[in-house]
Amino acid sequence: MIIKRNSLLDELLAATENSFAKTTQEIVPASNIIDNENSFEIYLAVPGLDKTNFDISIKEELLTVSDKSEKNTEKKENEAKRIYASRGYNFKNFSKTFTLPKDIVDKENISAKYENGELIITLPKKEKEENKALSIAVK
């Protein structure tokens, strides 16, 4: 199956696709990326966490989302004793990085909310320069 996509999303999606190359023991949240007229929206499926657990940072063109919660020793010991027949998710201590499209995202106005087990990050697009009216003086 061949998927054709918008060139604006290529860089943003590249990091998502590369996350599958990580080791199979590390489970990263599933994500959806929506390209709206005025923004991109990243949806991460992360059930069971609290909104205070997330660390969202941006450095240059990289947006990183991670879980900053600390497991206490008792929880670690209990987790080590469990034997899973199947394990579909465990998002404690995950980290996922997205490469943002260059010069398109308004980094100063990125926002995030967490509801119903889903982290939604909104990345507003910058206004296109071509839409701005310019006045040119004649000399």
Q: What percent of the chain has pLDDT over 90?
A: 37
Q: Distance between CA 63 and CA 77 in Å, rounded?
A: 32
pLDDT attached to residue 81? 76
Distances (CA, A) of 55 to 43, 85, 99: 15, 31, 16
Q: What is the mean pLDDT of residues 50-79?
A: 78
- Gyration radius of the chain over CA positions: 19
| All structural domains of the chain | 7-126 (2.60.40.790)
Instruction: Put residue 60 in one of left, alpha, beta given phi > 0 → left and psi -120 to 50 → alpha.
Output: left
Answer whether residue 112 shows pLDDT above 90: yes
Q: What is the pLDDT of residue 9?
A: 59
